[in-house]
Amino acid sequence: MLDYARQRAIEALKVPRKAVFVTSGPAGLQVCELPCEAVGLVLYILVPRTTDHLFNLEHEPGVTLLTERWELKGEAQVVSAAAAGLELDILREEQAQWCRLVRVDPAQIHVRREAGWGYLETIELKSR
């Protein structure tokens, strides 16, 4: 991947602190706005332990995340922050104790236009 595209993707992911998390699977379509934090090209999401998102992820790792600045498609997996040695700000939030940490590896990011509708650019992060 071009360094410019990689850097542009990293910059786009840094901005939001919340994203709409979308999964589908045996529990049906699940949509929820959740806290997130980016580390390079990886996005971490706090997912409540009681949601059907986690059940869906056991069967289908494909996810979509939406913010006012971008739309991301990627693959997600539940991870342990302690095992990965992560020091994320979202883990200090009050609700973190009732959540699981989900790692999202982006495959594609659509960056939205600041004014008007549609996408300004699409960044492919993984080849198909």
pLDDT tens readout for residues 76-120: 999 987 766 788 999 999 999 999 999 999 999 998 877 767 778
Contact 16, 36 (CB under 8 A): yes
Domain 3-124 has CATH 2.30.110.10: yes
Could you give the percent of the chain with pLDDT greater than 90?
Answer: 64
Report pLDDT for 122. 87
Query: Which residues have C-beta within 8 Å of that of residue 95, sequence separation ≥ 6?
Result: 35, 46, 48
Residue 15 has a pLDDT of 79
Phi/psi-derived region of residue 35, left when phi > 0, alpha when psi is between -120 and 50, beta in every other case? beta
Tell me the mean pLDDT in the region 44-48.
Answer: 96
| 54 three-state secondary structure | helix
The pLDDT score that the predictor gives to residue 1 is: 47
CA distance 66 to 101: 18
Note whether 75 and 107 are within 8 A (CB): yes
Burial of 45 (0-12, 13-18, 19+ CB in 10 A): buried
Query: Per the structure block, which two tokens stand in for 88?
Result: 């994320």
The share of the chain scoring above pLDDT 70, in percent, equals 94
